[in-house]
Amino acid sequence: MITRQPLLEKLQMGDLELQNRVIMAPMTRSRATNPENAPFDIHVKYYKQRSSAGLIISEGAQISKKAVGYVNTPGIYSDAQVEGWKKVTEGVHEKGGKIFIQLWHVGRMSHPDFHGGELPHAPSAINPHSKSFTPEGFKDTETPKEMSIEEIKQTILDYKKAAENAMKAGFDGVEIHSSNGYLLHQFFNRTSNVRTDEYGGSIENRARILFEVIDAIKEVMPENRIGVRLNPSLHGIFGMTMDEETIPTFDYIIEKLNQYNLAYLHLSEPFNDVSEIPYAEKEIAKRYRPMYKGTLIINAGFDQERGNQFILEGLADAVAYGKPFISNPDLVERFAENAPLAEWDQATFYTPGEKGYTDYPKLSVSKLV
Ligand SMILES: Cc1cc2nc3c(=O)[nH]c(=O)nc-3n(C[C@H](O)[C@H](O)[C@H](O)COP(=O)(O)O)c2cc1C
323 lines ligand 1 (CB under 6 A): yes
Give the pLDDT confidence score for residue 2 in this predicted structure.
Answer: 62
If you take atom 15 of ligand 1, which residue's CA is the nearest one? 27
197 alpha carbon – ligand 1 mean position (Å) = 33
**Which residues contact residue 28 at a Cβ distance below 8 angstroms, ignoring those fewer than 6 apart?**
59, 60, 70, 73, 350
Long-range contacts, 137-140 (Cβ 8 Å, 24+): 139/111, 139/113
User: Residue 266: CB within 6 Å of ligand 1?
Assistant: no
**pLDDT at 364 (0 to 100):** 78
Question: How confident is the model over 287-306, as a mean pLDDT?
Answer: 98
In the predicted model, what is the mean pLDDT of residues 277-285?
A: 97
Which atom of ligand 1 has the smallest separation from the CA of 321? 26
Rounded to the nearest angstrom, the distance between the alpha carbon of 200 and the centre of ligand 1 is: 28
Residue nearest atom 22 of ligand 1, based on CA coordinates? 300
pLDDT tens for 68-91 read 999 999 999 999 999 999 999 999
Look up 292 and say whether it is catalytic: no
Angle at 28 between CA 24 and CA 30, to 5 degrees: 135
Take atom 19 of ligand 1 and give the residue whose Cα is closest. 300
* 334 within ligand 1 shell (Cβ under 6 A): no
Q: How far is the CA of 27 from the centre of ligand 1 (A)?
A: 5
Indicate if the pLDDT at residue 366 is higher than 60: no
- How many angstroms separate the CA atoms of 131 and 153, rounded? 27
pLDDT of residue 367: 55
With a cut of 80, say whether residue 34 has pLDDT above it.
yes
Q: What is the pLDDT of residues 86-102, one digit of tens each?
A: 999 999 999 999 999 99
pTM summary value: 0.98
* Element containing residue 268 per DSSP (H, E): strand 264-268
